[in-house]
Amino acid sequence: MFLNRYKLHNLKDYANSLLENVNFSGTDEKVIYDPEVAEGGSFFIRISNSISLQVANYVAKTDMVFERQSGTECDILISFQNFTFCQCHCSKDCDEIIANNNSIGSVQCKGTLVAEKIKVPPGVHVKVILVLLKQGWLDELLADENLKGYFEKYTNIPALNYRKEFLSILQRGLFEEIMTTGLTRKLNKLFIKSRVLTLLESFFNDILEKDVQDDERKAFYSTKKDIEKLQLSITLIESHLQTFFPGIEVLAKNACMSRTKFICLFYEVYGMSAFEYYQKKRMDIAYEYLATQHLQIAEVASKIGYCSSSSFIQAFKKQYGFLPKEVFAKN
């Protein structure tokens, strides 16, 4: 088992705490993990005097336990995270990462005055963007009388524990851009900084919207259980990609939600309606058939539930901007 105990005064110190472990290599900007512990590593960037971040991307090879001790300064940690094939299970002494197939990520905001313990078991692919906002960053905001009351409400640091059970379409796009950009060039670092600032802006917009939503919308602010139920509807949709659309009423019932709640939440998480999601997935399958199996257009249309080739061609062009026959030329 790998155990890392640390105090998070700044992320440079955290990087050095990782480097104290045997067979961990790198610098205070980039750490490569011991291959027997995990495949991958982390890199660290300071955006300003008050903002720094860690980007972690690794697959655990053994139990990995991270114990963050309580700090002495009122700093804020915002964690954008995606544990491939996993979910969080809370126990009395730590948050344990356990396997599942949720790929829509989550975001969590905590104060560093409260200690935290996280356990990552073998086989879990951890992708985390951890942003540390120092007290100085908060002091600058609280100096603005227009923002002071609002931010004081959301920065009761000892009790701060805000969590959103999914990343929006915009956040997931930014998240993947950051994850796939290395530090091989200085320009890459500038790109990552700009993406992280946009990600932070999106996060604070979430909090603003949470506060100003009307009464009906507030009822749809999602819980972990809501997201788990929504995943059931995705499974049902994907089981019907070669037949017919199940219908909103059936999907909502399957997710144990009202019709209105299901429509709002689905769009909030996936950025499109359930039918648009269904159509997109069908066209993706059709493209694969055309590109890899070189099937005739009428045959592909039939395989994904179209009675009319012309209807299929119209839907395909709407999705991709070109006709199905043009796939043959591209491949």
Highest mean predicted confidence (pLDDT) among 2-16, 174-188, 205-219: 174-188
Same domain, 12 and 36: yes
Residue ending a domain, choose from 239, 254, 271: 271
Provide the CATH number for the domain around residue 179.
2.60.120.10
For residue 36, pLDDT beyond 80: yes
Model pTM score: 0.76
- Nearest one of 242, 219, 196 to 78, comparing CA atoms: 196
Q: How far lies 324's CA from each of 123, 276, 289, in Å?
A: 40, 19, 10
Residue ending a domain, choose from 229, 254, 271: 271
Look at residue 302 and give its three-state secondary structure.
helix
Same domain, 137 and 261: no
Same domain, 165 and 245: no
Provide the CATH number for the domain around residue 315.
1.10.10
Same domain, 81 and 165: yes
Same domain, 125 and 12: yes
Same domain, 173 and 136: yes
Same domain, 156 and 175: yes
- Its domain, for residue 112, covers 2-212
Same domain, 9 and 71: yes
Work out how many domains the chain is built from and give that number.
Answer: 3
Same domain, 121 and 162: yes
Look at residue 110 and give its three-state secondary structure.
strand
Write the pLDDT tens digit of every residue in 39-95.
999 998 888 888 889 999 999 999 999 888 887 777 888 999 998 764 444 445 556
Q: What is the pLDDT of residue 143?
A: 66
Q: Six-digit token pair at 278?
A: 């269904």
- Nearest one of 48, 40, 38, 44 to 17, comparing CA atoms: 44
Residue ending a domain, choose from 247, 271, 295: 271
Q: What is the pLDDT of residue 115?
A: 85
Same domain, 129 and 202: yes
Same domain, 134 and 35: yes
Type of residue numbered 158: P
Same domain, 163 and 33: yes
